[in-house]
Structure 1
Amino acid sequence: MPKRSSPAALRKAWQQGLNAVTGQVLRAARSAADTVAREAVPSLQKTPSHPSPGLGDWIAGVASGRAGMRRYRLFRPRGLAPGARVPLLVMLHGCGQDPAGFARSTRMNRLAAREGFLVLYPEQSRLANPQRCWNWFDTESGRAQAEAALILAAIDQVCLLYPADRERVALAGLSAGAGMAALLATLHPARFKAVAMHSGVAPGLASSATTALRAMRGRAMPAETAPLPASDQWPPLLVIQGTQDKVVAATNGVEAVRQWSQAHGVSTQESRTVQRGRRRPMIVTDFKRGRNIAATLVVIEGLGHAWSGGTAKAPFSDPEGPDATAMIWRFVAKRFRA
């Protein structure tokens, strides 16, 4: 006959089982809490490697607003003159990217170190979008506008804490970052001297995830889009688009410059074909009102959904294309000087 366990032994076994289950639950809870904390509080996340060692400082920051909090990185080149106010270029990454990866791919920090300007890299959170895409399309719910306000808060913070010239700020973005850059420029046109869209969707073509997919495939109807109000405040627009982009249809670039041209009352177009060395050829079209350029469209033959002229082997980067980094800086630097 089997020996019965004593009440004390049963209590001990029950307590051991309870402790084991409780421990598993607590470990799972701590892991989930740590994940949320790393997304919400920058200081709790492991610091990523400097994408441009030796060229300047890679400064961490965080901005907050009604959409929550977002981390950002600021590249500050070495050797800036004490007391000088320098231009600020805001770089908005695409889906699946972060500031460090975007900086490595575009090599914008190297150019900033040579030319003497600051580069701000706001970072989308995985809590806001699992693929780190900026929610440029979600205007119906107001989430897109809230994220735009967060980016603007980061810009204001950098202009307050660092030697950024508030009167010389420009925007540039890739893919979802390009869509967000266009949205920011249309919401706050007086805040920016220029905006550059690389492989992005024209503003106003989407208001939800469903309509965003339609717009990316080039199936949005421009007639459904309210035109941008006519104003000479709209910052000049540079659009860079590849003919072999399978993610964002090339018609989006045409639609973006059409909107900008209509807002500026453009009367003339001038096109030219350019090829530098063995890089991919491009057709550059300037949309002018008088002597002033309202928009420039750069269509690159054979370029897919990637940063043109970017670092070899980096994600979303095509080293065979013309140098988009240099093109963007030349475009915005002219507006800074003007």
Structure 2
Amino acid sequence: MAKRMHTAAWARTLERSFSAITRDTLRAGTRAVSRALKPTVDKRRPPPGAGDWIPGMALGPTGARRFRLYRPPDLKFGERLPLMVMLHGCGQDAKSFAMSTRMNRIAARERFLVLYPEQDRLANAQGCWNWFDTTSGRAYGEAALIMKAIDQVCLLYPVDRARIALAGLSAGASMAALLVTRHPERFKAVVMHSGIPPGTAHSTLSALGAMHGRRATMPLMATPVAMAASWPPLMVIHGGVDTVVSANNGHAAVQVWADAAGARASKGRSVQRGQRYPMTVTDFKRRGSTVAKLVEVQRLGHAWSGGAAKHPFSDGDGPDASRMVWAFAAKQFRV
């Protein structure tokens, strides 16, 4: 009898041990799965704030690219809104760029749509737009997919096609400039933040040289009459201590735009807002109209000026680039 009781007690102890091991294993497995899925879950969760975060995909002969569209709240029946196209830099995606720039917050207040095309990591492991790869045609293929995304959004959502602007950071800025050179009539304004002008590189190797300011920029294939009639004005924002993309590229971008339009530089003016980094603003004008604007931000590195603090490629101490982008675009929309 004592032996049977001892055996039963041992069995119950063993069962409890197995149960405890099973529970611990399941908990550890659940935690591991949660950790593994967290980046995917976080990526799908919309940025904070009112409005809609709408997924989409653009398809074309050269492949497919995902995009996200921000739609401000309380749209009125029949309302047509401007569209701001935002092209992220390397190491970013649609959501991280939206959160870094906080452009959605401005869009909610000023009432415009924001399109965030997203580079595929299979096309570039670092998430960079391949703006430089013109020899193989890959750059043009990606530009065509971005145009597909714009066309799709214009078809499905209340976009005022006469009020579309384009802005980008780093590789996104370079892709924005390339896009405008191929479709100048589609945009009212273009903003390059810390980018390289078109015609400066044609391959990976030449892109590296361009980043360090060691490549000459080719003239734009446009006449002054064509520039004045259909090309959008350009604003360049560049950090004075950018060690990733030389500030020489900012100067080259506005100069090539100005040369093509026959514009001349006015005297630069110093501007500082509160405790933010000071900046020098230079306008390039033709017959009183601004063709290009250069904003050189002192003490700013390779980061979105005035962006959300603690986000990669974002410097909260700089003047607010998102506000400058919208103000520049809104002025062109009124013209």
Pair in the same fold by TM > 0.5:
yes
1:148 aligns with 2:153: no
User: % of aligned pairs identical?
Assistant: 62
Q: 1:92 aligns with which of 87, 98, 104?
A: 87
Does structure 2 conserve the Cα–Cα contact (< 8 Å) formed by 1:269 and 1:287? yes
Q: 1:23 — aligned with what?
A: none
Does structure 2 conserve the Cα–Cα contact (< 8 Å) formed by 1:179 and 1:197? yes
Listed one character per residue, the Cα deviations across residues 197-218 of structure 1 (whole Å, up to 9, x for unaligned) are 0000011100000000000000
- Return the index of the structure with the highest Cα Rg: 2
Q: 2:220 — aligned with what?
A: 227
SS in 1 for 2:90: coil
Q: Structure 2 counterpart of 1:255, which letter?
A: A
1:171 aligns with 2:166: yes
Q: 2:178 aligns with which of 183, 201, 214?
A: 183
> Offset at 1:290?
1.5
Q: Structure 2 counterpart of 1:274, which letter?
A: V
SS in 1 for 2:121: coil
Normalised by the length of structure 2, the TM-score is: 0.85
- Higher mean C-alpha displacement, 115-124 vs 261-270: 261-270
Q: 1:12 — aligned with what?
A: none
- Higher mean C-alpha displacement, 276-285 vs 262-271: 262-271
1:137 aligns with 2:122: no
Q: Structure 2 counterpart of 1:257, which letter?
A: V
Q: Structure 2 counterpart of 1:284, which letter?
A: V
Does structure 2 conserve the Cα–Cα contact (< 8 Å) formed by 1:228 and 1:262? no
SS in 1 for 2:266: strand
> Offset at 1:268?
4.3
Q: CA separation in 2, counterparts of 1:226 and 1:280?
A: 32
Q: CA separation in 2, counterparts of 1:61 and 1:295?
A: 33
Q: 1:248 aligns with which of 234, 245, 248?
A: 245
Q: 1:335 — aligned with what?
A: 332
Does structure 2 conserve the Cα–Cα contact (< 8 Å) formed by 1:268 and 1:289? no
Q: Is there any run of 5+ residues in structure 1 with no aligned partner, and where?
A: 1-44
Normalised by the length of structure 1, the TM-score is: 0.84
Q: CA separation in 2, counterparts of 1:107 and 1:251?
A: 27
Q: Structure 2 counterpart of 1:187, which letter?
A: R
Listed one character per residue, the Cα deviations across residues 62-82 of structure 1 (whole Å, up to 9, x for unaligned) are 001122000000000001221
Q: Is there any run of 5+ residues in structure 2 with no aligned partner, and where?
A: 1-39
Does structure 1 conserve the Cα–Cα contact (< 8 Å) formed by 2:220 and 2:257? no
RMSD: 1.0
Q: CA separation in 1, counterparts of 2:219 and 2:261?
A: 15
Size of the aligned set, in residue pairs, is: 291
